[in-house]
Structures are given as C-alpha cells and as structure tokens.
Chains A and B, each alone.
Chain A
Amino acid sequence: MQIPHPLLGLRDASEFVYLGDASLLNRPSVDDPAELGSDATLDAFHEYLHLRHNPAGVHKELWFHEQGDRSWLVVTRDTTTHEILDCALARDVAGASFGAEST
C-alpha cells in the first residue's frame, strides 16, 4: 500500500503509523466546568474514545508519517480493497471543519 502524501508524493505505508477513524479529530469539548462529570459529558467521551462506525467500504482515517515529515494525514481508503481514494493534511481537514463550526 502506498500513500499519496500531499507534499512528498507516493510513500510506502510502512513509513506511517495508523491511528484510526478521522472522526477522532472531532474531540468533544466541555466549556462549563460543572458539566465535566455529567452523564452527557461521559457519554460523549465514551462515544468519542470507544465507539466506531467501522465501515466496510470508504473510510476516512488518520495516518502519522513517523518515518518521514511527521505530519498527520487524513487518508480516504476503501477497506474492502485497500484502494486509496484521497489524501489530505490533517491540519487542513481539521481547520476546514473547525472553520465550518464557527460560521
């Protein structure tokens, strides 16, 4: 498997460390300290930490280029064929989603 790094071109997947579903970028946040131990907060963090969609098919996922430029990537890959459909820098993906939330 080779990952088309947006800056470095095709790199072998063995240079990367795999973290998992790209939804891990969207960590729940708690603004009110009184809510820290509430059921709603615990449920949100439980879902964030432990539950996965785990689809058979197109999957957006986080890869870390540990043996390279140490950038985090969001790779779109088909889990039934290992075909890689898209690859973007995680900071761009996260920035886009945070930007969307603030508007």
Chain B
Amino acid sequence: MRYSAWQVIKQGLNGHSGWQAAFRDPEPKTDYDVIIVGGGGHGLATAWYLASVHGITKTAVLEKGWLGSGNIGRNTTIIRSNYLLPDNEPFYELSLQLWEGLEQDINYNAMVSQRGILNLAHSDAQVDAYARRGNAMHLAGAGGQLLDTAGVRKRVPFLNFDDARFPIKGGLWQERAGTVRHDAVAWGYARAADSRGVDVIQNCEVTGIRREGGRVVGVDTSRGQINAPKIAICVAGNSSRVMSMVDQRLPIESHVLQAFVSEGLKPTIPGVVTYGAGHFYISQSDKGGLVYGGDIDGYNSYAQRGNLPTVEDVAEGGLSLMPMIGRAKMLRSWGGIMDMSMDGSPFIDKTDIPGLYFNGGWCYGGFKATPGSGYCYAHLIATDTPHTVATGYRLNRFRTGHPVDERGAGAQPNLH
C-alpha cells in the first residue's frame, strides 16, 4: 500500500479499518543471496539500497530482538554533515543529501526536519578552527556559515554569553542539519525493503558463521541454519561479539553513551545547539521535550545503562551553557552501546574472509550516517569495491598508517 494524502482520506471513509501491517513477519527461508546480520537502521538501509539501487532483493535482514530495539531507537536523532577530514566530509554530505530525499524515496514520513545545527566557539582559536571546518564543508558542497557573537545572539539569545571562563565567541551554523524521528527511520526502511521482497526477520539471533573452503556459506541462528554466499555484519555496539565468531579481533571497544529528555516544554530551542567548551548537545523534540547528551561514560560496557557521575557531568555542561534549562525536570535517561573505534571513524569494508563484509565502529555518530552507511555498504556488497566517498573506512587502516582521526585524539577509544 502506497501512503499518500489520498490514502488517508480513503481509509478515513472506511473508519481506518483497511490499513495493513507496514511489513511482513516472514519465516526465514533456507537460502538467500545476501544475509545482513543486524536489523538496525544501517542494516535496513543497506537492504533497501541493495534492492532499489542494485536490484538485489533475495536478502534477509536478521535481527536478534525487535526492530528498533538497538541504537536506532536510542539516539538523539541529530543529522548533520559538518565534518573536517576529506575521508569523512563527502561521506556525511552524501548521507545528508539522502536524508533530504528520504521520505520521497521510501514513501514514509520520517519527520526529517532541517532546523539547523549551531556549534559554539568559546575562544579565538576555536573560531579559527570552525572557519577551517566551514571551508572543508563548502568544498564538499555542505554549506555552512561562520557566525560572530552577535549572529549567535540573534539565533539563540538565551545562552550564557558572558561566562568568565568560556565566553561565546561565535559559532558554525549548518542550516541543512536537523533532526529526524528515529523509530520511523527503522520502520520506513523496513517497509520499503519489505515491499521489494526483502525478508526482515525479527527475534532471530545469529549464533555462528559457517565457512567452507575459506568462504562464508551461511549462519546458524536461533531459528535454524540460513545459507548465503554473502554475509554482511552490521551490528554496531556488538561488532566484537559477532566477529569473535570468526576469531577476529577489531580496533573497537564497546562503550555506553547516555542520553536524556526533559518534560515537554513550549518551543524554546530552535535547532540543535552544541557546547564547544564541554561536551553537550541539545535539541527540542516535536513533542516539546529537550533531548540532550554529552560524553560516553568512558569504560567498556554492554549494559545499555550508565552511571550517575556522567549524568551530573552532562547536566553541568547544559547548565553552564543555558542556565534556563535548570528549571526543567529531567524525565528519562537511557543508554546505548557504542562501537568506539580507535580513531573515532567507522568501517565499511570487506574482511579477510571471502564473502564476509563488515560495517561498524560508528562511535556515537551512527544515526546521521544511516542512509549514507546503507548506500555505501550496499555498493560494497553488490560490487565488491568501496563507494568513492567511503574509501577511507578500511579495516586495516591502523596497520597501514592511515587512521581517520577527526578529533586528533589517537588510539584511545574513550577520548573520541
């Protein structure tokens, strides 16, 4: 069923009794062309672009829980393409362009809202760094505008501008950035892929990866053996666990990142604002809740929940930036498991094992990359060559001396 205004009217006349499930709940078949392990945003996007761009539809997406139970439903929903390095910026710009056309592409309302992002600068050096970053963005066609203090004050007058230690000196504004309804991204991609014949199989945990003659031939799952000549891992957060099934260690640590939402308030924060002197970012959801987060807790974790010192740290960052939110009640906090890579950048690559592909290491920036990641991963799986904007995301880049270290923090995952 194609969603449209006409369909809403038609179904309304029938008392909304004619709506069908958005996607099937199929039994796994025994053979596929491609198995995607992980039914998160990236895995579902990969399935969709494999079908829509490359015509590969005999695909299974295996999800161990229910759709949207992982990081696609646990993030702070921000999309942007304000990176610096040439290995990153064109990739994230492709992703942002795919966001801009996403709803028409998959015929699903994902509430893509380009309300802009403002990265604040608190020193002259930081203003210079943002000027450089803005230039890199323009080189990739991503836009961007450097604002002085007056320009920032005009957009977000409620900030703590004259803080003695961290005064606001300006900011980098990207108009095309914004937020997206994250659950709808999972549902929309699943529905679109399903409409092309892709089997999205929930509650199906992969327990082993089968190899014959060096090649992968299939997976063992909690719902039986499933065969395919190409297996694509896409399980960020649990990458090390899955790759340990083929005895591979990764340049990745799993860490917990917490996020928070306040009680619903009237519209007050236009777009996304990030604090440049600490690690704090905030936006306001369409329901009115302030959605914000900060640093990872900083130790290896698979617990999907964090500890109180980080809650306090994030709240302190928020209050020092915009004291007015001290009056708002924090409603909920939650945690997600991040694949923290050694340089803060992801991997989209073939592995040493023929037929086995790997996508992971998204740190805490995976959501904005969802369409780009799926698009480039599908390209890699279909053609066995990396997409032109994802050539830097090699698994062996640390061995060869080509890290993509956006932050410049070195091989220390909890500093990225």
Contact = CB atoms under 8 A, between A and B. Distances in A.
B414 interface: yes
B241 interface: yes
Contacts, number: 72
A82 B252 contact: no
Contact of B414 (A18, A42, A43, A46): A18
A34 to B, nearest CB: 21
A54 B240 contact: yes
Interface string A44-69: 00110111111110010100000000
Contacts of A77: 299
Contacts of A59: 300
A51 B249 contact: yes
A52 B249 contact: yes
Interface residues of A, number: 26
B166 interface: no
A38 interface: no
B342 interface: yes
Contacts of A52: 240, 249-253
A82 to B, nearest CB: 6
A61 B299 contact: yes
Nearest to A42: B399
A55 B414 CA distance: 16
A103 interface: no
B298 A18 contact: yes
Main secondary structure of the interface of A (DSSP, over half): mixed
A35 interface: no
Interface in B267-309: 298-303, 307, 309
Interface residues of B, number: 25
A13 B411 CA distance: 23
Interface string B248-261: 01111110000000
B307 A13 contact: yes
Nearest to A12: B309
Contact of B253 (A20, A43, A47, A80): A20
Given A79-B302, A82-B301, A82-B307, A53 B254 contact: no
Given A18-B298, A21-B300, A52-B251, 10 more contacts: A13-B299, A13-B309, A14-B309, A49-B342, A52-B250, A54-B240, A55-B240, A79-B303, A81-B303, A82-B303
Interface of A: 1, 12-14, 18, 20-21, 42-43, 46-47, 49-56, 59, 61, 77, 79-82
26 contacts: A12-B309, A18-B298, A18-B414, A20-B253, A20-B300, A20-B414, A21-B253, A42-B399, A50-B398, A50-B399, A51-B249, A51-B250, A51-B251, A52-B250, A53-B244, A53-B249, A54-B240, A54-B241, A54-B249, A54-B253, A56-B238, A56-B254, A77-B299, A80-B302, A80-B303, A81-B303
